[in-house]
Amino acid sequence: MDSIERLRARERELQAQLARLDADDAALRVDRSDATADDEHDPEGSTLSGEWQRVDALRASTRDELAQVATALSRVDAGTYGVCERCGRPIPEARLEVRPQATMCVACASLG
């Protein structure tokens, strides 16, 4: 599988993950609207608030990575995919295998 196929596969995975997290968020909202739920005093598990924060953080992270993948796919369309944004040299294939949405070569990425 080449880097572009990995990008497209990752995009599908992230979209599915975001759909699951959206469903989890909706379920938590329903649970939270239940006036009889006293999860703050339940010693047996995480609170609804804690779970909602966890799901919200995962959703934000997933959306961020999905945006990175979309940017990389735009670079494919523009013919600039696999070229370092900073120095203009090719991004090594090994880096793109691990992080197909990479926009910089290892040397430039390490500069911060």
Q: What is the pLDDT of residue 47?
A: 78
Q: Report whether pLDDT(75) > 90.
A: yes
CB 62 within 8 A of CB 14: yes
Question: pTM above the 0.85 mark?
Answer: no
The position carrying tokens 């703050």 is: 40
Identify the residue with better confidence: 12 or 32: 12
User: What's the whole-number average pLDDT of the chain?
Assistant: 88
Q: Where are the alpha helices (DSSP H) in the chain?
A: 3-33, 48-78, 93-98, 106-110
| Per-residue pLDDT tens digits for 19-36 | 999 999 998 888 777 655
Nearest to 37 by CA among 29, 55, 56: 29
| CA distances for 53 relative to 17, 86, 99, angstroms | 16, 36, 27
